[in-house]
Chain A
Amino acid sequence: MRTRLLVGITTATLVLGIAGCGSKGATPDSSTAPGTLTLGASLSLTGAQAREGILTKEGYEVCKTVVNGKGGVPVGGKKLLLDIGYQDDTSKPDIAAQLVDQFNDKGVKLILGPYGSATTGAAAAVVERNRQVMADSSGADDTIFTKGYTRTFAVLSPATSYAASMVQALFDLANPRPKTIAFVSADDGFSKTVTNGGVARAQQLGFTVVATEYVPNGTTDVSSALTKIKPKHPDVIVSSAHLAEGVALVKQAHELGINPSGGFAETVAPPTPDFVQTLGQAADGVIGSTQWTDLTAGSDKWFGTAKDYDATFAAQFNGRAPEYHGAEATAACLALVLAVEKAGSVDPDKVREALAALDEQSFFGPIRFNPMGQNTTKTMGVIQIQNGKPVSVWPKDSSKAALIWPGNRS
């Protein structure tokens, strides 16, 4: 009896512990000193998305350094220095929402987005209610933008174009062109939207989609999806997943003897350095999609071109090259800076108007929002891992090398 009680209590504690607990960071002093423009950012500094959260923070920090290095944001005749208050949402949407609310209580109306679609979605609802304004750096799920929000603006391309751009690249570049595609998707909202976009594009371009399998978000075991796909012998396996699932897919496919003739295409995992580090040679030939590369066309007065941004970032972080998480974060911060400058005011309503009307070129590509707040003018890039490095292969005008095809040479 005692054991049964113990089991019950412990189950409850474990579930509660995993769902609800976490640590919050120290409270920053967000009092807006004269001559300072304070932005608030709730970020995944710990928890499941700590890795990406920290990359996002680096992007925000680059923006702060560059803008303050050039004297600050010109607003109505004087210059305001940028100050960013960070709070740790422990990768949990409800905490992100609370933190954005707390920023509002402290008078911080201009918000930089959290990492990921789930946290961004939760924050967007609060931003709308509090009449704050949010520049979204990484929440790409289209569902965030179907709720009629008017105060959240995403600088990045929407989720539907992540897998679709890779399918399009295969259609444009692969010779011989593959015929059949299998999709493997994580089961979170963002990944599902990505997959739906990819499947739709594949069917539209005349590919046969032989399977669409879902795996739990964040799992390191995708073997059940792979064994289901194996008998269908797809030419290419396209996956919409994060790093953990993406690495598992390549590793376990190898273990299970699944060798699609065209290889693998995975959305966000391949451009991150961890992908090559964990997979080694097995990563070669894998295709990925990216919001940004250092060949992205366009420039702006704060950061210059994508190449210039590369150098700025490397100077700030020990020579490390930026990847798209950092760039999209800097671009979100840039959008707010440009809007404040154009509005000539830090009043949230005026900044919102300026953001909605923004039409600028930047190191991140064009920044222009549709009425829903999405940046649909920008195209995604497609990369391929070649000799252990992600290399841009599509679109052709900003590519560094030709697509190596077929991607699978084992």
Chain B
Amino acid sequence: MSQFLQVTLYGLLQGGILALVAVGFSLVWGVLNVVNLAHGAFVLGGAYVAFELHAWLGLDPFLGMVPAALVLFAIGYLIQRFVVNLVVNAPIFITLLLTFGLQLIAVNGMNLAFTANYRAIPVGYAAQALTLPGGVRLPVGRLVAALLAVGVTLALGYVMRRTRTGLSILATGMDRGAARLMGIKATHVYALTFGIAAALAGAAGAAVGAVGTFSPADAGRFTLFSFVAAVLGGLGTMSGALYGGLLLGLAEAWGGQLLPGTLVNAVAFAVLVLVLALRPRGIAGRAFYAARVEA
């Protein structure tokens, strides 16, 4: 029984980090209708910012999430404004190609700048664990990362629903033409959205660096996780990515227990296929995203 609890708990914590990785990806897809294949590279960008800050200033990676997010926000804003915006109305294949190209450039750039070495941000307490009744262990680093993920996602949901900026982002996502008529500057809103997504990816990268290892080659893996979590949860909703990430974490943890460990990835994709077949909108997807007006 305690083994089952341990697996469930660990899966949820793992899922929390995946959710933070995925939430920005889902936001960009929902609002800009761009599948950002460079998202994984943003995650790594954040991890390297936090790594360097830790190496130079001894800054704790969880505090390093803030500067990592700021740096990535600036990068994301500029990339959208001056690169992705050129093709934002183009067919999906063009945006896929562009973001895939950006990912190649970013990954090889990181290979040159930081080498292909595996890195981790060594913080002693992150590997410590609290022991719960029944010998179930609760690793501190993953707990902090997962709680931050949930907190950030809820905060983002609040910003989207309650502030002018958030509402203008949602409005632009639903109907860009109408939003423009209301005086919303679509180019700015798009760049802002992309920047926020990159900032969230950067924060997730700092968390990943604190609890695990990373190297430039991991970019594709993070993009794939984000894609699966976003689709599982439902596009464009902040809570969707959270549910998707948690479900993915749980599916991998339980799958790893019940089946040979090497099938873990297959289990995650089986869950994806199942959800798409039974509930194509995703767990928390909303009907109006499917019925939105395309400009």
Q: Contacting chain B: which of A66-74, A247-255, A356-364?
A: A247-255
Given contacts A51-B116, A248-B213, A251-B212, contact A225 B37 (CB under 8 A): no
In angstroms, Cα B122 to Cα A48, docked, is: 23
- On chain B, the residues within 8 Å of A50 by CB distance are 111, 116, 216-217
Interface set, chain B 207-258, CB cutoff 8 A to A: 211-213, 215-218, 220, 223-224, 227, 231, 235, 252-253, 255-257
Tell me the bound Cα distance from A215 to B218 in angstroms.
17
Interface segment out of the listed B3-11, B66-74, B185-193: B3-11
Residue of B10, B93, B218, B223 touching A256 (CB-CB under 8 A): B10
Contact B264 A224 (CB under 8 A): yes
Q: Within 8 Å of chain B (Cβ to Cβ): is A77?
A: no
Which residues of chain A are near B7, meaning CB under 8 Å? 223-224, 227
The answer to whether B261 touches A10 (Cβ under 8 A) is no
Interface presence of A146 (CB below 8 A): no
Q: Is B166 an interface residue (CB 8 A)?
A: no
Indicate whether A7 reaches chain B with its CB closer than 8 angstroms: yes
Check A18 against B224 for contact (C-beta < 8 Å). Answer: yes
Task: Report the Cα distance A213→B139, complex, angstroms.
Answer: 22
The answer on a CB contact under 8 Å between B257 and A227 is: yes
Complex Cα gap A243–B280 (Å): 38
Say whether B265 contacts A216, CB under 8 Å.
yes
Cα distance A274–B120 in the bound complex, in angstroms: 9
A54 touches B37 (CB 8 A): no
Q: Is A129 an interface residue (CB 8 A)?
A: no
Q: How far is the CA of A166 from the CA of B213 in the complex (A)?
A: 25
Known: A21-B100, A255-B127, A257-B137. A224 touches B253 (CB 8 A): yes
Decide if B264 touches A247 in the complex (CB within 8 Å).
no
B158 CB–A CB distance under 8 Å = no
Residues from chain B with a CB closer than 8 A to the CB of A187 are: 261-262
Closest to B211 in A: A251
Cα–Cα, bound, A3→B234 (Å) = 10
CB neighbours (8 Å) of B120 from chain A are 247, 251, 277-279
Q: Do A278 and B217 touch (CB < 8 A)?
A: no
Q: Give the interface size bracket for B toward A.
A: 35 or more
B290 interfacial by beta-carbon distance below 8 Å: yes
CA distance A282 to B126 in the complex (A): 12
The complex places the Cα of A114 from the Cα of B288 at a distance, in Å, of 52
Determine whether A384 belongs to the interface, using a CB cutoff of 8 Å to chain B.
no
Q: Known interface pairs A13-B96, A51-B116. Does A231 touch B261 (Cβ–Cβ under 8 Å)?
A: no
Whether A248 lies near B212 (C-beta < 8 A) is yes
Interface status of B89 (Cβ within 8 A of chain A) = no
Using an 8 Å CB-CB cutoff, how does the interface string of B119-163 with A read, 1 for contact, 0 for none? Answer: 110101001010100010101011000000000000000000000
Q: Which residues of A contact B116 (CB under 8 A)?
A: 46, 50-51, 54
Residue of A nearest to B103 (CB): A17
Complex Cα–Cα for A355 and B234 (A): 60
- Would you list 14 pairs from A and B whose C-beta atoms are within 8 A, ordered by A residue? A4-B280, A6-B92, A7-B276, A10-B35, A14-B37, A21-B104, A46-B116, A215-B264, A223-B14, A224-B257, A225-B256, A227-B7, A254-B127, A257-B131
Task: List the 9 closest pairs (A to B, CB-CB), nearest first.
Answer: A224-B256, A255-B139, A50-B116, A278-B120, A187-B262, A51-B116, A280-B122, A214-B262, A257-B137
A-side residues, CB < 8 A to B, are: 1-4, 6-7, 9-11, 13-14, 17-18, 21, 23, 46-48, 50-51, 54, 91, 187, 213-216, 219-225, 227-228, 230-231, 243-244, 247-248, 251, 254-257, 274, 277-280, 282
Extra inter-chain contacts (11) besides given A23-B108, A221-B252, A256-B129, CB under 8 Å = A47-B217, A50-B111, A50-B217, A187-B261, A214-B262, A216-B265, A221-B14, A227-B7, A255-B127, A257-B135, A280-B124
